[in-house]
Amino acid sequence: MDEQLNHAPCGFLTLSEDGFILDSNQTFLKLLNYSQDSLIGQHVNFILTVPARLFSQLYFFPLIKLEHRVEEMYISLETSKGEEIPVLINALLRREKERTVLECILIPMRKRNEYENELLLAKKDTEEALKAKHKAIMELKTTLKKLEFQKQELLELNQQNQKYKIETKKELELARIIQETSLTNPINNDKVQMEVYYNASGELSGDIYGIYQIDPYRYGIILLDVMGHGISSALITMTLHSLFQRLISAGYPVDLVMKELDSHLHKLFNSNEEARHYSTAIYLLIDTERQKVEYVNAGHPPAIWQDPDGTQYELCSSAPPLGTFEGVVFKTNTFTYRKGGRLLLYTDGIDPLISNYLAPLVRKTVSLSLFKLKEEILQCLNHEKNVDYKSDDETFILVDLK
């Protein structure tokens, strides 16, 4: 070995193909603190740490065999004192006359090694952090999936609800038509003239009325307001309707009609206190021949009778509402009238307007036709409703007796 190579600033080592040490330079011997004699003939494993022995078997020898060259391989050596020295190896496989030699140069890299250790540590930390991040993202994704599932469920429920709502609306509309079909038409002839207004607050009304001509001279007019409004009240109006239609058309006396309706409600709710409803009602039987009106007002807002000269009388309640107390005696009230009188019946949806607006209005418009009067009342209703009043079922009946 020439002097230059012997003292070159890097370790130089030749190995047999099997890994036995053939030669080394002084620099290398000094690095490992070995004498020439103690190294020559040893297997290279002798100067390698255990991991380096494994690594060289797994990578160094197969690689140099396959590629005849190894570059920049990191391994660790062990000095005679057991100190570990990280080195980089470059190696070359060279065929001499009869043998194959592996020539290696080795450069210690303590500082770089420490630096790389730090880098690897940082890399591992980063990988851990990345793993944790992935895990967190996965968890978030799971949560998101759950939320989306729940959202979907809500949407489906909402859809069902919507469908139900539409169906219900359709049903209610049909019910409204049925309820309105049960209403009678106003009667207009040479003796009487009528106008009716009927308006439910919702789809169905708790108000109901009936107008019947009993014989050529007599007319029955009834107006009821079942407490509350909506479906339950409307159902009760329908049972009452079928009853009063029969009674009035058959010409029963006023007090008896009211008595029957009262007992009907008591019977209806006899065994079901929770469902109990009562109803206010006013029934008038008008005899145009005798110019006489018989009536009973059971808890209903007073009807207004107006003489042709504009004098107004209130047909006040003389009994509690139907369905409240059992055994109530309904007493018929009677008055006679002059032709040209005017009658106004209404339910409590209109009641609050009566004293301030409608009564004076009716008086003021003695000469106005019924049709015009109805329009005026409606105008007044619409105007006031917007300002002050919650919507309730509204019904009124106007009658002129000629």
Partner 1 sequence: MDQNILFRNNVKINGKGTQSIIFAPGFGCDQSVWKSVAEAFEKDYQVILFDYVGLGRSDIHAYDSKRYSSLLGYAQDVLDVCEALDLKDTIFVGHSVGSMIGALASLSHPEYFSRLVMIGPSPYYLNDPPHYYGGFEKEELLGLIDMMDKNYIGWANVFASTVTNNPERHEVKRQLEERFCSTDPIIAREFAEAAFFADNRSDLKKVTVPALILQCSNDIIAPLAVGEYIHHHLPNSLLKIMDATGHCPHMSHPEETIRLISQYLNEESVSVEGSPAGRGVNL
Residues binding partner 1 (CB under 8 A): 17-19, 43, 45, 49-55, 57-59, 61-63, 65-76, 113, 116, 120
Query: In the complex with partner 1, which residue's Cβ is closer, 78 or 225?
Result: 78
Q: How far is the CB of 81 from partner 1 (least distance, A)?
A: 19
Q: How far is the CB of 101 from partner 1 (least distance, A)?
A: 15
Q: How far is the CB of 63 from partner 1 (least distance, A)?
A: 6
Residues contacting 320, CB < 8 A, separation 6+? 298, 299, 328
Q: Which residues pair with 248 in a beta bridge?
A: none
Query: In the complex with partner 1, which residue's Cβ is closer, 54 or 166?
Result: 54
Pairwise CA distance, residues 48 & 54, whole Å: 9
Look up tokens 């009927």; give the residue. Answer: 198
Pairwise CA distance, residues 80 & 145, whole Å: 63
Q: How far is the CB of 124 from partner 1 (least distance, A)?
A: 9
Query: In the complex with partner 1, which residue's Cβ is closer, 67 or 167?
Result: 67
Query: In the complex with partner 1, which residue's Cβ is closer, 130 or 275?
Result: 130
H runs (alpha helix) in 182-253 = 231-249
Chain centre distance of CA 372: 48
Query: In the complex with partner 1, which residue's Cβ is closer, 45 or 245?
Result: 45
Q: How far is the CB of 49 from partner 1 (least distance, A)?
A: 7
Pairwise CA distance, residues 351 & 345, whole Å: 10
Is residue 119 within 8 Å of residue 141, measured between CB atoms?
no
Q: How far is the CB of 120 from partner 1 (least distance, A)?
A: 6
Task: State the sign of the Cα–Cα–Cα–Cα dihedral 42, 44, 49, 55.
Answer: negative
Query: In the complex with partner 1, which residue's Cβ is closer, 17 or 384?
Result: 17
